[in-house]
Amino acid sequence: METKKERVFKALRNEEVVDVPVGFWHHYLEDEHVDALKTPAYHTQNVEGAKKFKEEFDPDFVKVMTDGYFYLPIELDISSVDKLPNFTLVPIEHPWFQKQIELAKEYREIYGKDIAIFHNLFAPLWHFEEAIRKAYKVDAEESHEIILGYLKENPEAVASCLDKIADNLSLLLKEVVKEGVTDGIYLSAQDMHRYIPDALYRLYVTPSEKKVLENAKAFSPYNLLHICGWRGNTNFLTIYQDYPAIAFNWAVNTECLSLREGKKFFHDKCVIGGFLNTEDSILFTGNKGEIQNYTQKLLKDVGRKGVIIGADCTLPRSIDYEKIQYIREACKGDFQKIVG
C-alpha cells in the first residue's frame, strides 16, 4: 500500500496521482515571533499543537512550525555598510540550532516515518531585516528604508552579508534534512512588499536564496519554495521562476496567478495551493458542499499531475480541521463515487 510520503513525493516529482495530497498548516503559538529560547514553554506548546494536528486531522505531509526560532541571532556592526558582513557566525552548538533539531526530531516521533516532513526556514533577507530592526531599534518600514539605502551605497557588502547568512543557516541542513529527521526544507521568501527594485533583488538578494536551496539539495531533492503573500503582499514572481526548488507555493489569489497558470509559469514543476487563507474566505465561511465544489473546480482546472492542494499561506489558528478534511475528501480519485 502506498504511504502518504510516497504519494507526496510522486506529486513533487510532477507525477500524476489518484488521490491528490493536501497540505495545510497553522502556527501553534499566539505570537509566533516570540523567543522560545527565553521561554521554553513555547517549545512545549508547539509540540503539543503538532500532536493535536496529528490526532484531529492527520495531514498528508507536515511543515515543522519553527515558532519561537524564526531568526538567526546575529548582531550586525552598523557603524558602516562595509562592516555588515563582519558578524560572528552562530555555531551549530548554539541553542538556536540545537532546539530546532530537537523540535524536528519531536515532529518525526509524532508523525512517524511514513509521512514527509519539511523544515521551515526563512530566506537570508528575512534574517538580515530582523537584525537591522534590532540594531537600529526600528519597525519594518524603517528597516526597509535602511536596507534600500545600503543597497544603493554598497550593494556588494549587502550581498556578502546575505551570502554569509545563507552559509550560517545552511549549518542546520545537515542536521535536519536527512533520513529519520526531515525530508527537505520549506524555504519562505518574499521580496518585502517590493521595496527592493526587481533588478537589485535579482543581483544582490537572489544568490543567497538560491544558495540555501542548492545546499539543501545536497541532502534531499525535496525542497519547497514558499513565495509569501501574507496579508495581501504581492511579489515580483518572475524573480523566483528559476529557483532550484522542486515545488512552488505562492498566493494564488493575491498574485492573480492560478494553479494551472502557475504550472506553466514555473516550468511545469509541482505547484501547491489554491485556497485563500483569510477568515472571510470560502475555507472559513463555506459549507461542506461549497468547499468541496471549489476543490473540484481547482482540480478540474489544474489536473492531478504535480499538484498539491493547500493555501496561499499559513492558516489562522481559528481554522476548523473539519473544513480541511472536506478538501481532502474531494481530492480523492473516487470522490464522485463517495458522494454518489
Q: In which domain, by residue range, is 77 found?
A: 4-338
Identify the three-state secondary structure at position 75: coil
CA dist., res. 283 & res. 234, Å (int): 21
pLDDT digit string (tens) for 157-201? 999 999 999 999 999 999 999 888 999 999 999 987 789 999 999
CA dist., res. 51 & res. 268, Å (int): 35
DSSP 188: E
Which of 94-108, 185-199, 253-267 has the least mean pLDDT? Answer: 185-199
CA dist., res. 243 & res. 210, Å (int): 6
- Kindly list the distances between the CA atom of residue 242 and the CA atoms of 121, 169, 246, 265, 269, in Å, as whole numbers in the listed order: 19, 21, 11, 10, 11
Residue with cell 465561511: 285
Burial of 254 (0-12, 13-18, 19+ CB in 10 A): buried
Q: How many domains does the chain have?
A: 1
* pTM confidence score: 0.96
Strand partners, 305: 16
Identify the three-state secondary structure at position 178: strand
Report whether pLDDT(340) > 50: no
CATH of residue 152's domain is 3.20.20.210
The mean per-residue pLDDT over the stretch 26-45 comes to 96
DSSP 305: B
CA dist., res. 273 & res. 307, Å (int): 8
The mean per-residue pLDDT over the stretch 11-24 comes to 97
Report whether pLDDT(298) > 90: yes
Nearest to 269, CA basis, from 223, 232, 332: 223
Look at residue 335 in the predicted model and tell me its pLDDT: 85
Look at residue 337 in the predicted model and tell me its pLDDT: 53
Question: What is the Cβ-side half-sphere exposure of residue 70, based on CA atoms within 13 angstroms?
Answer: 18
